[in-house]
Amino acid sequence: MKIATLLSGGVDSSVVVHLLKEAGYDQTLFYIKIGMDDDELLHCTSEEDIEMASLIARKYGCKLEVVDLHKDYWDNVVAYTIDKVKQGLTPNPDVMCNKLIKFGVFEQRVGKDFDKTATGHYASTTEIDGKVYLSTAKDPLKDQTDFLAQIDALQISKLMFPVGNFMKGEVRKIAEKAGLPSAKRQDSQGICFLGKVNYNDFIKRYLGEKTGPIVEFETGKILGKHNGYWFHTVGQRKGLGLSGGPWYVIKKDVAANIVYVSKGFEVETQYGNEFSMRDFHFITENPWGDSLNEIDVNFKIRHTPEFTPGKLLRVGNDFRIVSSQKLQGIAPGQFGVIYDQNSRICIGSGEII
């Protein structure tokens, strides 16, 4: 079996190479380049990552290829991100990067020539009645199925997640024992490749700044100023520059460039217990078929280890979640990710509206 292994230069994907080599698989390593070398803000110093990937390739006698997909990334993921932010929504570029770039364009151009594509994502797959389903990782703190919830059945059937059955600490120990140069490297944070880029600087580059008022939702009192509604997201607490808090962003008026806030975690206006999703996407299939009516599920509305129980309903072309618990910071534009009642199978996702 020929495997294309996606290598980032981090410890997780390095351990993937080690595990597959130990298991006797034939693999070719690929580093996907999506930063821009000629842009001081956005080039992201991929040299260090590529150097680390090269060390791993040499250690295991594997061929390493650098695949430049930066134009595809900017034409698709960045365009999507800026468009959603401009609408006052909270996008999730990581989700779209996985769907469109890592397992989209890469698959169409390179991955198609291989039997499987292996990655360092913390996730797993489960086969039921001959169909492959995306399922959660052993480590709940590192589980990344919410970032993979827009991929499709064909994509998931070709993917391998070798570290998904390990705790993060176990992965680090494997790396140290194997003498991997990435063993002590810190995990990257941020938007797909934007780990080294400040998000607000990124948004400012495309949308600039525009001063507007920060208004207390209950009283209409102006509490301060912001530099553009696009720098703020529903549920946000930090970065508002207001005293006497905690203050939370609960609403944005895009047309008037107003950010509304409410004080204190206990304030009723911050909470909701239901939300709708458009363009709902089932990864492998709709397990309930036409009988989908108040199905008990678990779900996430942000990247956390915790799952929330609720009911999934179909409302016309959209889907709706009614949560069993009050939810703080339901951010339109983010994805509602749906799981089975055992929080094991990731069924699909839709954009919160």
List pLDDT tens digits, range 245-299: 789 999 999 999 999 999 865 555 567 899 999 999 999 998 887 777 789 999 9
Same domain as 307, residue 257: no
Predicted pLDDT of residue 14:
96
Candidate from 71-80, 126-135, 143-152 with smallest mean pLDDT: 71-80
Candidate from 34-38, 229-233, 307-311 with smallest mean pLDDT: 34-38
Report the pLDDT averaged over residues 16-44.
Answer: 84
Q: Is residue 145 one of the residues assigned to a domain?
A: no
- Cβ proximity of 134 and 156 under 8 Å: yes
Give the Å distances, CA to CA, from 301 to 119, 268, 276, 307, 341.
24, 19, 11, 9, 16
- Cβ proximity of 65 and 47 under 8 Å: no
Predicted pLDDT of residue 231:
95
Give the Å distances, CA to CA, from 153 to 115, 148, 156, 294.
15, 12, 5, 24
Last residue of a domain, one of 266, 288, 314: 266
Domain that holds residue 321: 269-352
Residue 303, pLDDT > 90, answer no
- The pLDDT tens digits for 188-223 are 654 554 556 678 888 998 999 999 999 999 899 999
- Cβ proximity of 226 and 259 under 8 Å: yes
- The pLDDT tens digits for 321-348 are 999 999 988 999 999 999 999 999 999 9
Q: Is residue 135 one of the residues assigned to a domain?
A: no
Report the pLDDT averaged over residues 53-71.
Answer: 95
| Residue 171 φ then ψ, to 5° | -65, -45
Could you tell me whether strands 258-263 and 247-253 are parallel, antiparallel, or unpaired per DSSP bridges? antiparallel
| CATH for 273 | 2.40.30.10
Same domain as 302, residue 184: no
Residues marked active site are found at 97, 192
Same domain as 96, residue 25: yes
Among 120-129, 177-186, 193-202, 261-270, the range with the most confident prediction by mean pLDDT is: 120-129
Predicted pLDDT of residue 196:
60
Q: Is residue 254 one of the residues assigned to a domain?
A: yes
Same domain as 293, residue 213: no
Q: What is the pTM of this model?
A: 0.90
- The pLDDT tens digits for 63-98 are 999 999 989 998 999 899 999 999 999 999 899 999
CB-count burial class (<10 Å; 0-12, 13-18, 19+) for 38:
exposed
Residue 13, pLDDT > 90, answer yes
pLDDT over 90, % of the chain: 73
Domain total for the chain?
3
- Cβ proximity of 244 and 252 under 8 Å: no
Predicted pLDDT of residue 315:
87
Could you tell me whether strands 212-216 and 124-128 are parallel, antiparallel, or unpaired per DSSP bridges? unpaired
Continuous segment of H or E residues that includes residue 180: none
Predicted pLDDT of residue 246:
87
Same domain as 16, residue 114: yes
